[in-house]
Amino acid sequence: MFKKVKTWGPALALISPTLVLLAVFVYALIAENVRISMTNQHTARPSSDFVGMENYFRLFGDADFQHALRNLLLLTVVFLAGTLVFGFLWAWILERPAFGEGFFRSVYLFPMAVSFIASGVVWRWLLSSLQTDQSGGERTTGLNRLLDSVGLGFLQNSWWSDPNWGIAAIAVPAIWQLSGYVMALFLAGFRGIPEELREAARIDGCSEWKLYRHVIFPQLSPVMLSAVIIIGHMSLKLFDLIRAIVPDANTYDIQVPATMMWVKYIGSDYADSAAIGTIMLVLVALVVVPYLIYTSRQEKR
Amino acid sequence: MTTATVPPPVQVATPRPPAPRTGRQKMNRTLKYAILLLFVFVVLIPAYVLFITSFKGPSDADPSTAWLLPTTWETAGWAKAWDTLAPALGRTFAMVIPASIISAFLGSMNGFVLSRWRFPYANVVFTLILFGMFIPYQAVMIPLTQLMQGLGVPNGIPSLLVLHIVYGLPICTLIFRNYYESVPSELIEAARMDGAGLLRTYASVILPISTPGFVVVLIWQFTSAWNDYLFAAFFSSGSNGPVTIALSFLAGGQLTDYAASMAGALIASLPTLLVYIILGKYFVGGLMSGSVKG
């Protein structure tokens, strides 16, 4: 018994501050958040009558929240598709050693070092809608102006000011920011494929396409999975970028659960705010928990 | 390969010897560089706009010149941005540096224990720690504001310092655990033979070889705490908040001074960009080793 304390004691002493902090700041607070979401605390005045799932039912029946969920889905699909396409394309081109490779990699990856708030400043300008001043003169700036001047005027649009598709415009800067990261993941994946494997396939008379179809893609699928999980969960949480690009937090067009949670919090509707937080947690958990279990199983093997 | 199992400070690029080129490959090569350069321009568009707009004055207000270089290079925007952001910059450094160092040390201790000590349910505990890195913080935010108030931690920098330490623990632990997994166990066995206990082993064998792990973790924590806006929005205001909050006030509102806000965005990004430029290799190492915290 004493020996056990002696071997386990120091290890426990090293790790216990973290375990206690995370037990409180993650798990206890999640539980408390669920409790608050089941009360009727809809104003700043403290009140904690238990109302069960009522807030959740009301939210899911609310057209605004349904719109926010639909926006979130659209945002995630566009964000994922964009980062995967560009990330894979860049990694595929840069996979073979090339002159200036380090330069290209650094440029593609640099947006990752910038905060969404800082990049949001410039994207707010880039994604300005078409504008005219009082006298009818054209005041359009941003990408719309650029598109017009290079003869692509038909691509001009109102970007995020659209209740149905506006949120897809928010995905543009998000793709700009994270494609380099997905590229880095794919590059690591490509470099993990032994050259012998390719050689063997070529000697067996594999065409280039068959080589990809049967050798490269299967080898890349774990990387692909990581990229989907990481980008997917970032998309579910995306908040800063939307706040930076759209000045008014109440703007209907671009509401997602994360921004709605903030609006409710500002309005002191703590119960609804907590409920939206819980819904976000469930959405993220649906994506991440299977992945974490899968990862920990893989490690055991 | 899964992101959670990649050993840390790996350099992504281990170039392969170039293959001999044929004629068709030469054409492909031209095409390849054309595509690569095109994307360099596309990726750099926002940087170009930030730079030119930050130097524009009222004389360049006309939208028809929006994409052109300034006719006169004015620094009024930079001056205004600096005046607005300077106090917040100091506060951000005062918060981010200690937060990164403390969470890195805690992460290193956890990583060491978790990589060496096979206690029952170690995997479950590790997974529970990791989950803390993926949760949307919105799911704890309302009770968190109450908890911090209850603990008497003042809003602003003190609150943010605590929060960045606590919520940085999962990723720091992960990066260090993966790093220590690659330490040969003979090294630790040797220390044990010499009669060193766990703490001694950690202090005299593990810490001295941890520098690469620390570099990766410190860069990661520095960048994510510096760029954080979510916690800052809930736990600080314009007068006591970090630079992201100050910038969002400078750039927010319906009538934006674009020269000042773009200069501000450049100022606010400079520290993390410098880290990226100088220590890029390790920056990528952090990205690869720890999946990502959103």
pLDDT (mean) for B135-160: 96
Angle at the Cα of B292 (from B286 to B294), degrees rounded to 5? Answer: 130
Chains A and B: how many Cβ contacts under 8 Å? 297
Following CA atoms A24, A27, A33, A38 in sequence, which dihedral angle do they give, to the nearest 10 degrees?
A: -130
CA distances from A92 to A86, A101, A217, A252, B168 (A): 10, 12, 11, 39, 33
**Does a structural domain hold residue B30?**
no
Q: Residue A50: beta bridge partners?
A: A39
B136 with A258: Cβ contact below 8 A: yes
Report chain A's mean pLDDT, rounded to a whole number.
88
CA–CA dist B220, B158 (Å, integer) = 20
pLDDT digits (tens, 9 = 90+) for A262-295: 999 999 999 999 999 999 999 999 988 888 888 7
Q: What's the confidence (pLDDT) of residue B279?
A: 84
Token digits of residue B76: 């009024």
* Cβ contact, residue pair A226, B291, below 8 Å: yes
Q: What is the pLDDT of residue B20?
A: 56
Q: Which residues of chain A from 198 to 217 reach within 8 Å of chain B, CB to CB? A: none
Chain-chain contact of A25 with B128 (C-beta, under 8 angstroms): no
pLDDT at B127 over 70: yes
Q: Do A115 and B117 touch (CB under 8 A)?
A: no
CA distance B46 to B273: 15
**CATH code for residues A60-118+163-300:** 1.10.3720.10
Query: Is the confidence at residue B293, as pLDDT, over 60?
Result: no
- Please answer whether residues A289 and B132 qualify as being in contact, where contact means their C-beta atoms are separated by less than 8 angstroms: no
N-term to C-term CA, chain B = 21
CB A189 within 8 A of CB B1: yes
Residue A243 token pair? 């706040």
The answer to whether position B42 is within a domain reads: no
Contact A270 B18 (CB under 8 A): no
Put simply, the answer to whether B40 touches A104 (Cβ < 8 Å) is: yes
Mutation target vs A (from B36, B112, B138, B261; most A CBs, 10 A cutoff): B138
pLDDT tier for residue B294 given thresholds of 50, 70 and 90: very low
By residue range, what is the domain housing residue B228?
A: 76-289
Q: Is residue B23 part of a domain?
A: no
Question: What are the residues facing B221 on neighbouring strands?
Answer: none
Please choose, from the candidates A68, A38, A41, the residue with its C-alpha nearest in 3D space to the C-alpha of residue A54: A38
B10 has pLDDT over 50:
no
Average pLDDT, chain B: 85
Mutate to test the interface with B, among A5, A20, A26 (most CBs of B within 10 A): A26
**Residues B40-54: what's their mean pLDDT?**
94
Residues in A closer than 8 angstroms to B229, CB to CB, are 115-117, 239-240, 243-244
Q: Which residues have a Cβ under 8 Å from the Cβ of B90 and sit 6 or more positions away? A: none
Max CA-CA distance within chain A? 88
- Which of A145, A229, A280 is opposite residue B139, by nearest beta carbon? A280
Orientation angle between helical segments B211-227 and B258-278, nearest 10 degrees: 170
Q: How many domains does chain B have?
A: 1
**Token output for B142:** 């309302």
Across the range B228-246, mean pLDDT stands at 95
Model pTM score: 0.89
pLDDT over 80 at B23, yes or no: no
Is residue A255 within 8 A of residue A64, CB to CB? The reply is yes
Nearest chain A residue to B132 by CA distance is A26
CA distance B98 to B81: 26
pLDDT band at B2 (very low <50, low <70, confident <90, very high): very low
Answer whether B66's CB lies under 8 Å from A141's CB. Answer: yes
Using CA of residue A250, residue A256, residue A261, residue A262, what is the dihedral sign?
negative
Alpha-carbon distances of B142 from A31, B2, B132, rounded to whole Å: 11, 33, 17
> CB-based contact (8 Å) between B73 and chain A?
no
Which of these, B158, B159, B157, lies nearest to B87 by C-alpha position? B157
What average pLDDT does this structure show over B74-99? 94
CA distance B73 to chain A (A): 19
B58, B47 contact by CB (below 8 A) = no
Mean pLDDT over B161-179 rounds to 94
| Residue B5 pLDDT greater than 70, yes or no | no
CB B170 within 8 A of CB B129: yes
Domain ranges within chain A, ordered by starting residue:
60-118+163-300
Whether B150 is covered by a domain: the verdict is yes
Contacts of B264 in chain A (CB under 8 A): 121
On whether the CB atoms of residues A226 and A84 are closer than 8 A, the answer is no
Spatial distance between the Cα atoms of A278 and B137, rounded to a whole number of angstroms = 10
**Residue B44 burial class via C-beta count within 10 angstroms: exposed 0-12, middle 13-18, buried 19 and up:** middle
B136 has a chain A CB within 8 A of its CB: yes
**Is the minimum CB–CB distance between B196 and chain A shorter than 8 Å?**
no
Q: Which two tokens stand for residue B292?
A: 């990502």
Determine contact: B7 vs chain A, CB below 8 A. Answer: no
Interface of A with B in 104-163 (CB under 8 A): 104-126, 138-142, 145-146, 149
**Residue B114 belongs to a domain with what CATH number?**
1.10.3720.10
The answer to whether A214 and A207 are in contact (CB under 8 A) is: no
List Cβ<8 Å contacts ≥24 apart for B221-224: B221/B96, B221/B99, B221/B100, B221/B103, B221/B104, B221/B164, B221/B168, B221/B171, B221/B172, B222/B96, B222/B97, B222/B100, B222/B271, B222/B272, B222/B275, B223/A113, B223/B272, B223/B275, B223/B276, B223/B283, B224/B164, B224/B168, B224/B293
- B172 token code pair: 């720091």
pLDDT of B98? 97
DSSP structure string for A53-80: THHHHHHHH-HHHHHHHHHHHHHHHHHH
A143-179 tens-digit pLDDT: 888 888 888 877 888 888 888 889 999 999 999 999 9
User: Which chain B residues touch A121 with a CB distance below 8 Å?
Assistant: 50, 247, 251, 261-262, 264-265
Q: How far apart are the first and last CA of chain A?
A: 32
User: Is the pLDDT confidence value at A50 over 70?
Assistant: yes
Q: Is B236 on the interface with A (CB under 8 A)?
A: no
CA angle A58, A165, A134 (to 5 degrees): 110
Q: Which residues of A touch B144 (CB under 8 A)?
A: 25, 29
CA distance B47 to A111: 9
Q: How is residue B258 written in tokens?
A: 């674009």
**Calpha distance A139→A144 (Å, rounded):** 11
Judge whether B186 and B194 are in contact, CB under 8 Å.
no
CA-based nearest residue in chain A for residue B110: A15
| Torsion sign over Cα B175, B177, B179, B182 | negative
Task: Write the ipTM.
Answer: 0.90
